Structure 1
């Protein structure tokens, strides 16, 4: 009966109601669905493997998110704040700029180390906030919100210009194919070499801008929250 193929959904619902282990629930539901659908073990494993490979980026994102949450729960933010307390002349703008450089370098190798959820919130922001509060005064709410926006913007700029330095990205292939349609035959390495100064200038401008903006905000909110 076709309705038996929906048995996996029932298992998931009941499992979550009973608050059982999530991974176990999903695996049992998948196996039961495969069995009642007449799928043999080999085909089931092949389907499972191909689905994992085709969605590996999402799987990696989920793993990193869970790992970051676990580390944050066990003192990652406090460790980042304690580290910044040791630096006397550092500023929030400097931290954001350093993060931008790191993001750009890793982006050039198409390695997504960073992001609002996995890096800015648990690491960059606690560092920036600790520097602002090193004199013992709590940070102003508006100042904190500005730092959040600056950090996210720096992330976007560095990642946007950094990832197109990698010759294997879809963006580079799109540009190459578009130019080919217009009659211009170019190599991916040539496109990357042209993009290098653009990426460096864009990131440098963003770093300088946010550094100066942080200086202005620090002066405005000197003495703590207002």
Structure 2
């Protein structure tokens, strides 16, 4: 039980807002030493874990490419494109992206999207441009952040509920492998994937409705912001007149 003190290190580290990488690293070292591993064995364990999971860091390679594309106007072109589609609102655009993200994840294409690969350079700017087209001008920073959060949410929900419909995804294989080996069952990945389809459909309907309702929310908040600006401007004029 003493090796569980490593969990306490993680809790204390996150509670005091320390660097997550440092916290996890220290927790791993503490757990290894309490488990009567030598420093060499702890270091070897870190190396083996990194080598076996190095594919997780492949996405880092895409970051310089995305940065270069943004430098040469990727976001501006995305905004221009969406600005030409006057009837495409923010909610409709994000609902369409949610559908595409779910369908691509359902056939195993989970890596073609993501916060770094698509949301920040493409989806969020296009959603903002759609809102600005409807508003007739730039968005307040609060609404801009709201649109960005919904863009990221559409991506996350789409891939989360869509990927389980693909029978060769890691989570499906992990569940079937664990159940079959532990409980002596013969559960097939296809069975789990089929049962994930109703959940994916419900997720699309529920979150799609939330995204479509986003248009009305933006209209109301834009009206409130415009009224506040008018009051501020009117108060400024009265102050100048009083002087």
TM-score normalised over the length of structure 1: 0.69
Large movers: runs of 4+ above 3 Å = 222-226
Q: Which moved more, 1:179-188 or 1:87-96?
A: 179-188
Cα pair distance change 1:138/1:223, threshold 3 Å: farther
Query: Is the alpha carbon distance of 1:182 and 1:164 closer, same or farther for their aligned partners in structure 2, counting shifts above 3 Å?
Result: same
Once the two structures are superposed, what CA deviation does each residue of 1:117-148 show, in whole Å capped at 9, x if it has no partner?
22111111111111121253210211111111
Would you say the 8 A contact 1:108–1:164 is kept in 2?
Answer: yes
What is the Cα deviation at residue 62 of structure 1? Answer: 2.1
- SS of equivalent residue, structure 2 residue 105: helix
* Counterpart residue number, 2:202: 201
1:121 alignment partner, SS class: helix
Whether 1:96 and 2:94 are equivalent positions in the alignment is yes
Alignment of 1:1-226 (within 5 A): 55-59=54-58, 61-111=59-109, 112-134=111-133, 135-180=135-180, 181-222=182-223
CA contact (8 A) 1:125 1:147 kept: yes
Q: TM-score, normalised by structure 2?
A: 0.65
* Gap regions ≥5 residues in structure 1: 1-50
Shift of residue 105 of structure 1? 1.6
Q: Measure how far apart 1:57 and its partner are.
A: 4.3
Q: Is the 8 A contact 1:109 1:165 kept in 2?
A: yes
What is the rounded CA distance, in whole Å, between the counterparts of 2:114 and 2:188 in structure 1? 30
Per chain length, whose mean CA-contact separation is higher, i.e. which structure has more relative contact order (CA < 8 Å, sep 6+)? 1
Note if contact 1:161-1:199 (Cα within 8 Å) is conserved in structure 2. Answer: yes
How far apart are 1:88 and its partner, in Å? 1.4
Partners of 1:201 and 1:101 in 2: CA distance: 12
Q: Determine if contact 1:133/1:224 at 8 Å carries over to the other structure.
A: no
**What is the Cα-based RMSD across aligned positions, in Å?**
2.2
Q: Is the 8 A contact 1:93 1:214 kept in 2?
A: yes
